[in-house]
Homo-oligomer: A and B are copies of this chain.
């Protein structure tokens, strides 16, 4: 029923090996014969069986992409861009969505990608054990999040610089009580929240502002979490006049909480986010923009390059530019109340 390489070979009056070579543009077959074969293959609607060819060749022409939540804007956007690069290069992508701890565990113990992929792009930060498991695959690895990791190509941003620009902006506006909504709920090895928190503390210290632990809350990187966190901050003895959220989603949650508390933004409270979410502009959110799609595409390109030249040296590290985007959720604090 299904047309195989021998069918093509027979129809073209050559051997299967010649068909194989011709269709893949390998040397060892004359121009005319190759043309003939391509024509016949097209006429018969022949597509090589991926299973068979990867079994024989050891190459799968497939990239594994593991992501915590495809549904979230950040990951969806990275994936979108990466997928375009991969598919343009003739690679398919095998998607693993590892949101819950169980699926994540299942993935890393069963390792379904073993012998199924030529490389893997991880959009989540593997812990020591997990990255060891990935390395054991013996294929090029890349990630777009978190810091340096042995064996991984990482393309990311300067989290500290980004955070600095955001918090410094609030300081410059005159704010002294600056809260932070972090997304630190994840495992410790995720360096992003840590780096951003450090930068936050440093800017405060630099401005001579004493740090108040009551002005920090965890937002879990979600809208709901951000809302909860903001509510928490508002309950503090002396609530913040400005808030830096480590992601736009959390910032939007914060906006919602503020609205529910009948507080005006930026009159009563300023808020700045991180990411430049697609909808940040709609809500007028001041934020730190990072090239999200750009990171996905770049990581994909680097991975492909490693595939092409396996003898290349250390996996690279790329820092993408960030920039503060001023919109309408930040303003000087209202000159009222004590201090």
Residues of A within 8 A of B (CB): 2, 47, 49-52, 54-55, 60, 62, 65, 69-73, 76-77, 79-81, 83-84, 87-88, 92-97, 99, 103, 106, 110-112, 114-116, 223, 252-253, 255-256, 259, 278-279, 281-284, 293
Q: How far is the CB of A249 from chain B (nearest CB, A)?
A: 8
Q: Which residue of B lies closest to A252 (CB)?
A: B282
List 23 interface pairs A-B (beta carbons < 8 Å), by A numbering: A47-B110, A47-B111, A50-B51, A51-B51, A52-B55, A62-B94, A71-B76, A71-B80, A79-B97, A80-B97, A80-B99, A83-B95, A83-B96, A87-B96, A92-B94, A92-B112, A93-B94, A93-B95, A94-B94, A223-B281, A223-B282, A255-B282, A256-B282
Residues in B neighbouring A281, C-beta threshold 8 A = 223, 256
User: Besides the contacts A51-B116, A70-B76, what 17 more A-B pairs have beta carbons closer than 8 Å?
Assistant: A47-B112, A51-B51, A51-B55, A51-B115, A52-B55, A70-B70, A70-B79, A73-B76, A76-B76, A83-B96, A84-B99, A87-B96, A95-B95, A223-B279, A253-B282, A255-B282, A256-B282
Q: How far is the CB of A82 from chain B (nearest CB, A)?
A: 9
Residues in B neighbouring A283, C-beta threshold 8 A = 282-283
Residues in B neighbouring A115, C-beta threshold 8 A = 2, 47, 49-51
Residues in B neighbouring A223, C-beta threshold 8 A = 278-279, 281-282
Give complex CA distance A112, B88 in Å. 12
Q: Which residue of B lies closest to A113 (CB)?
A: B92
Q: Is the CB of B70 within 8 A of A80?
A: yes
Residues in B neighbouring A70, C-beta threshold 8 A = 70, 76, 79-80, 83
Knowing A76-B72, A115-B51, A283-B282 touch, does A97 contact B103 (C-beta < 8 A)? no
Q: How far is the CB of A261 from chain B (nearest CB, A)?
A: 14
Residues in B neighbouring A55, C-beta threshold 8 A = 49, 51-52, 55
Q: Which residue of B lies closest to A102 (CB)?
A: B88
Give complex CA distance A99, B106 in Å. 31
Give complex CA distance A79, B71 in Å. 7
Residues in B neighbouring A84, C-beta threshold 8 A = 97, 99, 103
Give complex CA distance A281, B222 in Å. 13
Residues in B neighbouring A110, C-beta threshold 8 A = 47
Q: Which residue of B lies closest to A296 (CB)?
A: B71
Q: How far is the CB of A177 from chain B (nearest CB, A)?
A: 24
Residues in B neighbouring A112, C-beta threshold 8 A = 47, 50, 92
Residues in B neighbouring A83, C-beta threshold 8 A = 70, 95-97
Q: Is the CB of A95 within 8 A of B94?
A: yes
Knowing A69-B80, A71-B76 touch, does A50 contact B282 (C-beta < 8 A)? no
Q: How far is the CB of A292 from chain B (nearest CB, A)?
A: 9
Q: How far is the CB of A247 from chain B (nearest CB, A)?
A: 13
Give complex CA distance A259, B93 in Å. 41
Q: Which residue of B lies closest to A259 (CB)?
A: B284
Residues in B neighbouring A49, C-beta threshold 8 A = 55, 115
